[in-house]
């Protein structure tokens, strides 16, 4: 399944989900492992890399800028880096597909190298704003020529040496934070990012693991992350944990389908990523953790989730940064809860792969779910655990999380839910539908 070839998909109730599975490697960590290894001197080895289209776009871009990247027959990736400051001029435009993470973080890398790069993307990515990254990187000396509204296609010229800055994040965004820190890697002096609201910290953990001189200070202003430039990164052995964003779909599916009992192995439980587990447990979800451990500096555990009646909650807005990608799945859980769930404080959903607030409001509403749409979220009146009506077609809006979330909703609908195009699922979870078939007894896992 390629995200460029439309893939209509229809789903109806199948009964309980049962069994064990692993989810793909964490997408955020996979992107960063390729980039940081590509800047190290020597060979890094990466196990468990997510091989979805977004991460492959990052690999292709790093190859285009000089890194040698190979995958062996066992699925282990080997990266020989060019060293900080060693990125080469790409001969053609860097095609980012649907990946906002690839685009924004690679813009940070290019910003402090004396090269010019053009970034292009698909129709969905080309609608997403890049101004939030352009602003701080321009202050560091990079120059940009973008499409109207600071969008792709976009050409940037890096500056070497760049100018170190102190930057206060105006919105909670790990991508913007990471872009500035990556630009700081090859910038003389100290570059600082101040985040008033903590966001996922994979960049900080991994940069420190690769040998960057990085400090984190908690202050009244917020968290101050400082990085010393002209760094020398050392190659690493990386094991990528399972992606909690991918696990979220099975956590919700097993929670809403009676009789379900699912175990998900090797899930990354970085505290900046576990908001969805916190919210589901607040609703009454039966989620247990086993074999908690640390892998590559990241906390990991196996999760067992069993069907349980869910109750409506008011989702704490301060959970938003730690579950921003999981709101579509949470909205589905709310559709089956008892009472009215209010989930607000998530304006960032408006500028994801799609406008996820509008897309999920339209999708759930068309399938018989009562809801109210706000600028920053939704209020959803649940079905008290009963099947929702279903019976409508969903527009995925080229968004993998809309497609997967509404597939989960279809598992507990009275009538078939159809999705106009589920092909974007390949960007983050190529085996999603095969895993669904396995858990519902349709086939054995590959």
Active site residues: 325
In terms of Cβ atoms closer than 10 Å to its own Cβ (0-12, 13-18, 19+), residue 331 is buried
259 marked among binding-site residues: no
What's the rounded Cα separation, in Å, for the pair 271 and 198?
A: 10
What's the rounded Cα separation, in Å, for the pair 356 and 155?
A: 28
Neighbouring C-beta atoms of residue 304, cutoff 10 Å:
15
Residues 6+ apart with CB under 8 A from 73: none
Return the closest-CA partner of residue 341 out of 360, 325, 355: 360
418 marked among binding-site residues: no
The answer to whether 237 touches 212, Cβ cutoff 8 Å, is: no
The answer to whether 267 touches 247, Cβ cutoff 8 Å, is: yes
128 marked among binding-site residues: yes
325 marked among binding-site residues: yes
The first and second tokens of residue 356, run together, are 């996820």
Matching residue, tokens 């890194």: 67
DSSP, res 388: E
221 marked among binding-site residues: no
Compute the radius of gyration of the chain from its Cα atoms: 21
The answer to whether 262 touches 17, Cβ cutoff 8 Å, is: yes
What's the rounded Cα separation, in Å, for the pair 76 and 81?
A: 16
350 marked among binding-site residues: no
The answer to whether 7 touches 398, Cβ cutoff 8 Å, is: no
The answer to whether 155 touches 103, Cβ cutoff 8 Å, is: no
In terms of Cβ atoms closer than 10 Å to its own Cβ (0-12, 13-18, 19+), residue 183 is buried
What's the rounded Cα separation, in Å, for the pair 52 and 44?
A: 20
In degrees and rounded to multiples of 5, residue 79 shows phi and psi of -130, 125
175 marked among binding-site residues: yes
Residue numbers in the known binding site for 3-phosphoshikimate are 27-28, 32, 173, 175, 325, 352
Residue numbers in the known binding site are 27-28, 32, 100, 128, 173, 175, 325, 352, 356, 401
Residue numbers in the known binding site for phosphoenolpyruvate are 27, 100, 128, 175, 356, 401
């Amino acid at each position: 399944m390629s995200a460029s070839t439309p893939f209509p998909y229809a789903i109806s109730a199948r009964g309980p989900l049962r069994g064990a599975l692993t989810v793909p490697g964490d997408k955020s960590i996979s992107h960063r492992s390729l980039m940081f290894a590509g800047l190290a001197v020597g060979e890094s080895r990466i196990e468990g890399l997510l091989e979805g289209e977004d991460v492959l776009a990052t690999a292709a871009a790093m190859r285009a800028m000089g890194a040698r990247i190979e995958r062996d027959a066992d699925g282990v990736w080997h990266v020989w880096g060019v060293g900080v400051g060693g990125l080469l001029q790409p001969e053609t435009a860097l095609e980012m597909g649907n990946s906002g993470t690839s685009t924004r973080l690679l813009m940070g890398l290019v910003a402090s190298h004396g090269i010019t790069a053009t970034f292009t993307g698909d129709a969905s990515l080309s609608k997403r704003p890049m101004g939030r990254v352009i602003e701080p990187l321009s202050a560091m000396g990079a120059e940009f020529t973008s499409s109207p509204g600071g969008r792709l296609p976009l050409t940037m010229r890096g500056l070497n040496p760049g100018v170190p800055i102190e930057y206060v994040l105006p919105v909670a965004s790990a991508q913007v934070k990471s872009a500035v820190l990556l630009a700081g890697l090859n910038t003389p002096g100290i570059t600082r990012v101040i985040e008033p609201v903590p966001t996922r910290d994979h960049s900080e953990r991994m940069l420190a693991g690769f040998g960057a001189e990085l400090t984190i200070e908690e202050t009244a202003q917020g968290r101050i992350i400082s990085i010393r430039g002209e760094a020398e990164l050392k190659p690493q052995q990386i094991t990528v944990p399972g992606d909690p964003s991918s696990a979220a779909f099975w956590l919700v599916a097993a929670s809403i389908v009676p009789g379900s009992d699912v175990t998900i192995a090797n899930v990354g439980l970085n505290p900046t990523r576990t908001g969805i587990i916190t919210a589901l447990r607040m609703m009454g979800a039966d989620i247990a953790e086993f074999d908690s451990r640390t892998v590559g500096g990241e906390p990991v555990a196996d999760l067992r989730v069993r069907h349980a009646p869910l109750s409506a909650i008011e989702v704490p807005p301060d959970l938003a940064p730690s579950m921003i990608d999981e709101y579509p799945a949470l909205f589905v859980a709310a559709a089956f809860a008892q009472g009215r769930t209010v989930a607000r404080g998530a304006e960032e959903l408006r500028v994801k792969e799609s406008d996820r607030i509008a897309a999920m409001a339209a999708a759930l509403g068309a399938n018989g779910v009562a809801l109210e749409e706000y600028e920053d979220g939704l209020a959803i009146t649940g079905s008290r655990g009963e099947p929702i009506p279903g019976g409508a077609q969903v527009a995925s809006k080229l968004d993998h999380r809309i497609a997967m979330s509404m597939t989960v909703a279809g598992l507990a609908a009275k009538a078939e839910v159809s999705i106009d195009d589920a092909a974007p699922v390949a960007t983050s979870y190529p085996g999603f539908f095969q895993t669904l078939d396995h858990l519902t007894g349709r086939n054995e896992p590959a």
